[in-house]
Amino acid sequence: MVFNEPFRVFYQMNEFIRSFTLWRLALELGYSEIRSKYRRSILGPFWNTITLAIMIFVLGPIYAVVLNVDSNLYILYLSIGIVSWWFFSSFVSDCVFLFLSESDYITQVNLPYPIYVFKIFIKNLLMFFHNSFIPLFLSIFVLGFGIHIVLYPLFVIFFGLIFLPLGFVIAVFCLRYRDMAPLVNSLLQLLLFATPVFWMSLSNRPEIQSIIAFNPFYYLIDMTRFPFAVFDSDHHFIVNLFLFITFWSLAFLTATKVKSKLVYWI
């Protein structure tokens, strides 16, 4: 009996591994959700890209004047932050009511629970690849062609793999405690302004440094800017590796505790 808990954790790890082996199913489900959302639309998901581009090109010059920074570099800085933050916030928002929206599948089809989170992740990842044209185009205009064009998508994928297990944890807790849904959405809005998305983190003011030092999402967003060395951005590899291990361990532990109960909470 002493060894039951480690075996249960390993079994739940197999649930995640099983979900990874079903990547074709997750890819098809994620793509079909995008296709159904933009049915009969000419531009499809590029409408979202156009909306973000308008936001960047309108706010960029204004904030560049307010912050007294070079407008070209700041617009590139802002585009990376907004596109990366949209990827994160859209994924988390989708996870809030994920298991409720997938209740028909969960009660009738025997699939591992993480596959539903993977589906949402792939959907938002495909949307990100549409939106990534904005910072990549700006980087060519500001910095020219370089290795950052190849590195940026790879760093964002790793950025996504860090918060992917966090989406599973949020989906489970929002299903168990329905009052958490508005709380998560409110926290996302607060984190947007507490994270260097619009403002730059290069200030030496101690109050600014204290805000970003204890904000884990600063290190995640900052990682997506690492390929663009012009921002003197730190990779913070140790912190991001710690977040990766912590979030995945928390997801395994959550799956261990709720696997047999989750279907009764729907």
106 in a domain, yes or no?
yes
Is the confidence at residue 238, as pLDDT, over 80?
yes
State the Cα–Cα distance between residues 117 and 20, nearest whole angstrom: 11
39 in a domain, yes or no?
no
The reported pLDDT for the residue numbered 92 is 92
Q: How far is CA 240 from CA 63, 151, 161, in A?
A: 28, 17, 11
Q: Which domain holds residue 76?
A: 4-33+51-265
40 in a domain, yes or no?
no
Q: How do residues 47-72 score in pLDDT, each as one tens digit? A: 888 888 899 989 888 888 888 888 88
The reported pLDDT for the residue numbered 1 is 44
44 in a domain, yes or no?
no
Domain count, the chain: 1
The reported pLDDT for the residue numbered 246 is 92
* 158, 223 contact by CB (below 8 A): yes
The reported pLDDT for the residue numbered 208 is 66
State the Cα–Cα distance between residues 95 and 196, nearest whole angstrom: 24
The reported pLDDT for the residue numbered 170 is 93
Q: How do residues 100-109 score in pLDDT, each as one tens digit? A: 888 888 888 8
Of 29-38, 93-102, 157-166, where does mean pLDDT reach its minimum? 29-38
Q: What is the mean pLDDT of the chain?
A: 81
43 in a domain, yes or no?
no
In this prediction, residues 202-230 reach a mean pLDDT of: 73
C-alpha angle with apex 56: 185 to 122, nearest 5 degrees? 55
250 in a domain, yes or no?
yes
82 torsion bin: left (phi>0), alpha (psi -120 to 50), beta (else): alpha
162 in a domain, yes or no?
yes
Structure tokens at 19: 């979900």
42 in a domain, yes or no?
no
* 202, 234 contact by CB (below 8 A): no
Percentage of residues in the chain having pLDDT higher than 90: 8
* 67, 199 contact by CB (below 8 A): yes
Question: What is the pTM for the complete model shown?
Answer: 0.84
The reported pLDDT for the residue numbered 65 is 87
